[in-house]
Structure 1
Amino acid sequence: MKLKMMLLMITIVCVLSACKADERIKLVNSGENERTIAYEENQFTVHITEEMNEAISNYVIQKYSSVYSHLEKQFEVHNVYGASETNGIFTVYLYSYFGGYNKFSGLENQAGHSLPAVIRLQKKAEGYAVIEYTEPKDGSLYQSSLKQMFPEKYLKMMYEDAGTTEKLQIEMDKKVKRWLDAERVR
């Protein structure tokens, strides 16, 4: 009887561990002003809303505003590889592109950077707040710090996503063009 029970328990554990759901990423709602991305992980769906995306961009711009204070306007765009939620804390794995611009230079980026990052957000009364921001370390510690920051599946997605920079540049150009057009109207 004990042997049968032991075999049953082992079988259940094996079946449950093999039933991990495939991770699926889908665009739930897409439009000029609305972008919600859902990340399905182990049958839980984490929605990255436009409000969350805006909180991420605003945080990065604020973080680097003093470094690039000589520029008239800074922008940030990012590509999200995945997200998780634990106890109301959203962890977002992304690739960020930050740029600073002046009116006279038009769409030509005057300064900035692009890099992978992990951002933790928490819902507050006034919206989402970034409670932690992590970038990879420089130099010889870059690869090992990436491995510590990103789950393997998102790291693999990042390495395989050769078009990220071009996609982000297109998105950045749209933001800068809207700003330049608004400035010309003034």
Structure 2
Amino acid sequence: MKRWSMNKMILILSVFLVGCAPNSPEIKDGNAHVTKEMDEVISDYIVEKYKGIYYPSEKQFEVHRIYGTSEYKEIINVYMWSYFGGFNKDSGTNNQSGHSLPVFIQLKKVDSGYEVIKYTEPKDGNQYASSIKKMFPEKYVKMAVNDTETIEDLEKEMKEQVEGWLQEK
């Protein structure tokens, strides 16, 4: 009986200490805490970062799905899947170059809006899954490693943006 009581006491104390732990930001699921401005800053940053890296294209686009966010000391952590692609008018909606991968981004509020202060992608090969575990909270790791549904949704969203661009005169 004493052993059960001691284990129960340790469990209660552990829950209390974890719940009161300072400096552990609350993780908020989804994109509800990401403004349109933040979305644009993220996409603009990624487009600019990769503009000259891949095979030349007339127009580059980036779309993403945000798994969640956390904030600590005015730094916003964004856990997401990003799909970047370069397109040419003569090839239509056929992606000429790009990538699709999980990304960790940190944003900071500045006078003019927001700026990206950190951008992290997973490592390649056999370090892929372990690097995602270091980038993301545990609850998003499995999604980021096996997320085919998001990729399909982002491909549709990308196609819509490209079709809009192709219809411009």
Query: Contact 2:60/2:86 (CA < 8 Å) preserved in 1?
Result: yes
The one of the two structures with greater contact order (alpha-carbon pairs below 8 A, sep at least 6) is 2
1:167 corresponds to which of 141, 153, 156: 153
Amino acid at match of 1:155: V
**Paired position in structure 2 for 1:52:** 38
Partner Cα distance (2:111, 2:66) in 1: 24
Pairing of 1:60-99 with structure 2 (within 5 A): 60-68=46-54, 70-99=56-85
Partner Cα distance (2:81, 2:11) in 1: 40
Q: Please tell me whether residue 104 in structure 1 is matched to residue 90 in structure 2.
A: yes
Partner Cα distance (2:146, 2:164) in 1: 31
| Cα deviation, residue 156, structure 1 | 2.4
TM-score by length of 2: 0.82
| Cα deviation, residue 10, structure 1 | 6.4
Q: Please tell me whether residue 156 in structure 1 is matched to residue 142 in structure 2.
A: yes
Distance verdict in 2 for CA 1:133–1:104, change over 3 Å: same
Q: Secondary structure at the match of 2:44?
A: helix
Distance verdict in 2 for CA 1:145–1:14, change over 3 Å: closer
RMSD across aligned C-alpha pairs, in angstroms?
A: 2.5
Partner Cα distance (2:29, 2:72) in 1: 19
Query: Contact 2:85/2:97 (CA < 8 Å) preserved in 1?
Result: yes
Distance verdict in 2 for CA 1:25–1:91, change over 3 Å: closer
What are structure 1's unaligned runs of at least 5 residues?
A: 1-8, 27-36, 39-46
TM-score by length of 1: 0.75
What are structure 2's unaligned runs of at least 5 residues?
A: 1-8, 21-26
Q: Secondary structure at the match of 1:93?
A: strand
Q: Secondary structure at the match of 1:66?
A: coil
**Paired position in structure 1 for 2:116:** 130
Amino acid at match of 2:135: M
Q: Please tell me whether residue 116 in structure 1 is matched to residue 70 in structure 2.
A: no
Distance verdict in 2 for CA 1:160–1:24, change over 3 Å: farther
